[in-house]
């Protein structure tokens, strides 16, 4: 079965922004099916709409499904994992510049109205990698430590990558490709 990889952008992001087009091409060249959905209403994101869109996009989840989230896409993936039924598992998740609070933005509050159910998330996925930057102006490094503690995520701290966005000039992200290929190889 062909492995499906879902790349989930962040707030005000798009499938064509930043490093996602490069990563999509690299993975497709290796024979993977790559889906980069345009998340709804990116200027005014709502957790239910984003998680619902991801549920519809994925269809039937399985160990052949892998996820890479950027920024708000990370909590979207975690909320998606919370929605899965008992026994459903995905192959792995990479969280790039992920966070577990609204970072002081009222626009993001809907994603954090309910506590994150870490145990439920871990019951649906065993492999997590958190990638953070040592100079991200929005997301503090402690979020990477939090993912390491709560999800047993492998933590990677990149130097001087800011928020890993196209606005920061990041159009390729080899560390994510390398980590994803390791997860894919091990599964």
For 57-84, give the DSSP string: HH-S--TTEEEEEETHHHHHHHHHHHHS
Q: State how many domains the chain has.
A: 1
Judged against a pLDDT cut of 80, whether residue 92 lies above it is answered with yes
75, 118 contact by CB (below 8 A): no
pLDDT in tens, 24-76: 999 999 999 999 999 999 999 999 999 999 999 999 999 999 999 999 999 99
Residue 125: the pLDDT is 98
For 99-136, give the DSSP string: -SS-TT-GGGGGGGSS---HHHHHHH-S-EEEEEETT-
Give the mean pLDDT of 94-98: 98
> Locate tokens 């130097």: which residue?
159
Query: Please, what's the b/e burial string for 157-187 (b: 16 or more CB within 10 A of its CB; e: otherwise)?
Result: ebeebbbbbbebebeebebbbebbeebbeee
- Other CB atoms closer than 10 Å to residue 66's CB: what's the count? 24
Expressed as residue numbers, the domain containing 75 is 4-186
74, 98 contact by CB (below 8 A): yes
pLDDT in tens, 138-147: 999 999 999 9
> Locate tokens 């798009």: which residue?
14
The enclosing domain of 66 has a CATH number of: 3.40.50.1820
pLDDT in tens, 98-157: 999 999 999 999 999 999 999 999 999 999 999 999 999 999 999 999 999 999 999 999
């Amino acid at each position: 079965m062909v492995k499906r990889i879902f790349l989930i952008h962040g707030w005000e992001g798009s499938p064509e922004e930043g490093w996602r087009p490069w990563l999509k091409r690299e993975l497709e060249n290796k024979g993977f099916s790559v889906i980069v959905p345009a998340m709804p209403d990116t200027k005014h994101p709502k957790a239910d709409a984003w998680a619902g869109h991801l549920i519809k996009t994925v269809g039937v989840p399985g160990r052949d499904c892998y996820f890479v989230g950027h920024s708000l896409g990370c909590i979207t993936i975690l909320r998606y994992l919370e929605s899965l039924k008992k026994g459903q598992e995905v192959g792995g998740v990479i969280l790039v510049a992920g966070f577990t609070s609204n970072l002081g933005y009222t626009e993001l509050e809907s994603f954090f109205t309910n506590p994150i159910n870490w145990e439920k998330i871990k019951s649906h996925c065993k492999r997590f990698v958190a990638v953070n930057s040592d100079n991200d102006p929005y997301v503090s490094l402690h979020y990477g430590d939090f993912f390491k503690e709560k999800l047993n995520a492998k933590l990677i701290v990149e130097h001087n990558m800011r928020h890993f966005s196209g606005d920061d000039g990041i159009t390729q992200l080899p560390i994510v490709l390398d980590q994803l290929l390791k997860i894919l190889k091990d599964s």
